[in-house]
Structures are given as structure tokens and as C-alpha cells.
Amino acid sequence: MARPDINRSGEIEVFVRVVEEGSFSSAARALRMTPSAVSKLIARLEARLGARLVSRSTRKLQLTPEGTAFYDSGLRILADMAAAEQEAAAGAAPRGRLRVNSYVPFGVHRLIPLLPRFLERYPEISVDLVLTDSVIDLMAERADVAIRAGPLGESRLVARKLGQSPVVVVAAPSYLETHGTPLTPADLDRHNRMGFGFVRHLDDWPFLDAAGNPIMVPITGNTLVSDGEAMRLMALAGAGIARLARWHVAADIAAGRLVRLLEDFNPGDEEATHAVYVGQGRHLPARVRALLDFLSESVRLT
């Protein structure tokens, strides 16, 4: 437990200001302190942490790796404290900037259509939205919520499940007219199987053989894409065969733009979607809780 005479938030605020100002003297002027007081506070902080945070030289101040990590965490802590104070003063009304990072298919087809209603319900929240299928570090990217598909790795983050969907293999009628329709997983050897250009939990495609035993078919083709929406668009254009969550292509299948393939060999695996956030043992800002609750009530992936 921290000693009551240590003002940890004050130490963090001074350290962050030193980094942003680039020197002890500039930070001292901004904080209305003496340079010696700022220098002693940083030295005391380093002694307490048992790590050097800054490398001092006559020309400029440089952060050590430990200092960079502490600066990133300090920024987040100060932002959370400010949000907590604002919410307490306003009766915990959700407000402030909400940084959301979503995988592209969910962002395009679910989140963006819902955001106008969310912002109308919470007019004092502003949204900063980034769409990417790449795995991100929430702390490094300063994101409040990340929405991701697939299995979750071990981490200090908290996850709320938003739904799950079967996965299907699909192709456009134009592709099948040119290259034929695969009738068994072995037939895929003669087809262009499109893949992703980033590391995934499962790169090969799972199927069942004629006896019902699980098999894996490797991805070999001339197309790699950056995200699931690009994969869907390539499939619609007739570039090859894709494997995507059924919710993502359900409208295309219903309209005849895509055709489901090899359903008799589908193992029935499903892909889950989670909202991931930093919250274990921490104050959860009202703006984050508002979005999580809104998504839980509004999102349907069946």
C-alpha cells in the first residue's frame, strides 16, 4: 500500500510535464516550481521505483525504456483521473472523447450504422474511431475499447462477448462459372483460396472428411488482404474463394452475390466477437460503460 505522504498523482503529473516540455527548467516554469524542486521530485520518483526514467545531458533530456513505459501509463492514469472527476461532478453522466478501435467488417457493417443512435443518446460523448484487423496494444494506442473477432489471448484486459457466428466458405457465381464448383475439400487444390496478410490464430481452413474426421486445408492462392471486408469485396469481384463469418456475408448470400460451398464438410466452428477494454480492478469511465452496454443491447451477429 502506498504511504499516505506520497502524492503519486502529483509525481506523475510533474514527470509527464517534464517529458512534454523537454527539460526540467521548462517544466518548472509551466508548473510554477523551481528547477531544483522538479529535479529532486524526479530523482525521488526514480528512487522509489528503483528505475532510471530519464537520461540527463547538457543538451537534451531522453527517456529510458522504463521512462517511456511510465510516461505512456502516466498519461492514461491522468486521463482516467480527469474523467473520474468530471463524471463525479456531473453525476456520472457519460461524456468526453471515446477512442474505439474495431476490426473492419464489424466497424463497417455493425458499428458505424449504430453510432449515430449512440451519439444521439449521449450527446456529450465524441467518438474517435479507427478500423483495422491488426491486433493492437490498447495502452500504446490509447484506445478505450477494441472490438476483435476470434479467440482471445491471455492478457490483463477485460472482454465482453458481443456475439458469435458460424464461419462459411463462399465464392461469387462468376468465379464458379469460370473455375467450377468444388464438391469436396480435396477439390480446393485446384482453386484460388484467398488469405490474410497478417498472423491469425488459425491460418488453415478446417473441414470434415467423408468419414467425419477433422482435416485442415492450407491456404494457397494469389491473393492476400489486410482485413475481412477487403476479403469480402475480392470474393464479390470473383477473385477467388473466401472463408468468412456468416453474419458478414449473409446479405450477399441471400441476394445471390455469393454462394456457400462445401456445407456438408463444414465442421460447424464459430467465430466470436468481443469488446476488449482495460478495466480489471480499475475505475471504468462512464463513456466506456455506456458504449459497452449499448453494444450489448444493439449488436446481433446471428
**pLDDT tens profile 136-169:** 776 666 789 999 998 877 666 789 999 999 999 9
Q: Is residue 3 in some structural domain?
A: no
Do both 281 and 159 map to the same domain? yes
Q: Give the separation between CA 231 and CA 243, rounded to whole angstroms.
A: 9
Which residues constitute the domain of residue 178?
166-269
The reply to whether 1 falls in a domain is no
Examine the domain organization and report whether 100 and 79 are in the same domain. no
Question: What's the pLDDT tens digit per position in 24-58?
Answer: 888 898 888 998 999 899 999 999 888 889 887 65
Cell readout for 255 is 441476394
- Per DSSP (E only), the strands in 157-199 are 158-171, 195-196
Alpha helix stretches (DSSP H) within 53-166: 65-89, 104-106, 112-121, 138-141
Strands 205-208 and 125-131: unpaired
Alpha-carbon distance 170 to 249, whole Å?
Answer: 9
Do 114 and 158 share a structural domain?
yes
Give the alpha-carbon dihedral of 13, 18, 20, 21, to 10 degrees.
130
Can you give the pTM of this predicted structure?
0.70
Residue 84 in any domain: the answer is yes
Residue predicted with more confidence, 8 or 274: 274
Same domain, 105 and 244: no
35 phi and psi, to 5 degrees? -55, -35
Task: Give the integer Cα–Cα distance in Å for 257 and 164.
Answer: 23
Does some domain include residue 172?
yes
Interatomic CA distance for residues 105 and 171, integer angstroms:
17
For residue 75, the model assigns a pLDDT of 83
What pLDDT was estimated at residue 1? 40
What pLDDT digit, counting tens, does each position of 251-271 carry?
999 999 999 999 999 999 999
- When computed from its CA atoms, the radius of gyration of the chain, rounded to whole angstroms, is 25
Q: Does 12 share its domain with 72?
A: yes
Residues 252 and 281 reside in one and the same domain: no
173 and 265, same domain (yes or no): yes
Q: Which of 110, 158, 96, 103 is nearest to 130 (CA)?
A: 103
Question: Which CATH number does the domain housing residue 218 bear?
Answer: 3.40.190.10
